[in-house]
Structure 1
Amino acid sequence: MFWEEDEKINEKVPDSILDLLFEIRGREIPVDHAYALSTAITSIAPEILEDGRFGVHTIHVAGSQNGWERPDFNTENRLIISRRTKFTLRVPREHASAAEEKLSGAQLDLGGCQITLGKAKERPLSKQGTIFSRYVQSDPDESEMNFLQRIANELKQHDIRIKKAMCGKNVSVYTPDGPIESRSLMLADLLTEETLKLQEVGLGPGRHMGFGIFIPHKGIEAVNKGEEEEK
């Protein structure tokens, strides 16, 4: 774990990258649906694979609560979606209208689960200094400290120095070519320019499958909560 206090400086917020939040109609999705979702979305909008600024968020369903326990993380188990469940696409502003036009009304097959995307609304990136990624690609035998050190080195390339960071346990994400290992990652006390840059460029490969995409979170419980949701 890295943990260093620093003062915060407000920075101007750019709007070149944003999130499109699509309504979803359907009943259920696989717990591990990253590959199926990426394949379905990029078949409709192949430009996502050609422009690294795009990011395909996995579909998030609330974790265990009220006696319900989240199923194990695999492609066979299912999550029940609600009217509040959204599909989110991170997109360059100049491509937002075209992406919404292509995807609104699209019918997707996610491992045998049928969903339909509805209308979308725009959401700007967050200025919040604590951000969280549910999946950042890792090496199969990489320890927590080695993972954090490698992440610190990668962030230096973007002029970002880790002050506070916490990662979760390994999670194997399905692909037909074999699983991709990943860890959840929370970064805290980032400057505004740093948090925006990370949301814009992501961390590591695989943004079209939801890897390395950062979202805002209110606190350090993000990693522990993420692990519970993936068990």
Structure 2
Amino acid sequence: MNFLEVQFALRGRTLPADHSYALYSAVKQLLPSYAQKNQQSEESVIPINLPADVRLCSIPGIPDKDGMIYLHRGSRMRLRCPAEQVQFWYRLLQNQVLDIRGHLIRLVQPRLTLPQPSDTLKARLVTFKLEAIDHAEVPYYFLESCKKGLERLEIRAQASIDSTAAGDLARRTLQVKDKKILGYGVIVEGLSDDDSLKLQWHGLGGRQHFGCGWFYPVREEANDS
């Protein structure tokens, strides 16, 4: 699969720290109006929902410890999609204003990038369906799910749960409507170039429209501040 990443610089100040579902909803709301506006065009079929092969990333920022983040010059709205869909998403999102739970951001200065291979990738949040498992055993079954996910993709690498700056397990949650979903930050090491690109495309776990399972080279963290 040939895929590209579209990145947009942002005009705005703040976002909710847990904004991934709201970002997905804001992008999704653009699709029906765009389809209606272009219904007489000869373009390829316009989706009315986000296709399964389109992935969004949560937007990085500086946390204020009160459920908010402040955007900085490195903050980007990022989307990965098959190469043949790039023109559609580029046109749809360019210069749009998104309402993220009352916080307005404008998407500007779009650019296209090729994901770069790295032997170590990280994801801020990966989720699996583990609700029925005793809390104390969640990390074990979570890592088992990561291992099986890599095996399904025929990727030979080692997954581990990331840690926070304080040395705790990077246990994180995602709010989807009235439900909180548990997950962890994940590091995958020992990747070949092909497997690195494969993992960046397929990700691990569910809720990938909401930014989960989005893997990136560790070196990108230095550019997020």
Normalization by structure 1: what TM-score? Answer: 0.78
Tell me which amino acid in the other structure corresponds to 1:25: R
Deviation at 1:18, TM superposition (A): 1.4
Q: Give the one of 136, 144, 161 matched to 1:149.
A: 144
Tell me which amino acid in the other structure corresponds to 1:153: K
Aligned residue runs from structure 1 range 1-231, under 5 A: 16-45=2-31, 47=47, 49-62=49-62, 70-72=63-65, 77-138=67-128, 139-140=130-131, 141=135, 142-163=137-158, 165-167=160-162, 168-218=169-219
Stretches of structure 1 lacking an aligned partner (at least 5 in a row): 1-13, 63-69, 226-231
Deviation at 1:164, TM superposition (A): 5.2
Deviation at 1:163, TM superposition (A): 2.9
Higher RCO (CA 8 Å, separation ≥ 6 residues): 1
Residue 143 of structure 1: SS of its match in structure 2? helix
- Contact residue 25 and residue 83 of structure 1 kept, 8 A: no
- Contact residue 45 and residue 99 of structure 1 kept, 8 A: no
* Cα deviation 1:136-176 (Å, max 9, x = unaligned): 01425352222111210121111113335334432121111
Stretches of structure 2 lacking an aligned partner (at least 5 in a row): 33-46, 163-168
Residue 101 of structure 1: SS of its match in structure 2? helix
Question: Matches of 2:48 and 2:198 in 1, distance apart?
Answer: 19
- Contact residue 23 and residue 119 of structure 1 kept, 8 A: yes
Tell me which amino acid in the other structure corresponds to 2:205: G
Number of corresponding residues? 198
Deviation at 1:32, TM superposition (A): 0.8
Residue 43 of structure 1: SS of its match in structure 2? helix
- Contact residue 166 and residue 185 of structure 1 kept, 8 A: yes
Runs of 4+ off more than 4 Å: none
Question: Matches of 1:164 and 1:150 in 2, distance apart?
Answer: 10
Percent identity over the alignment is 25
Deviation at 1:41, TM superposition (A): 1.1
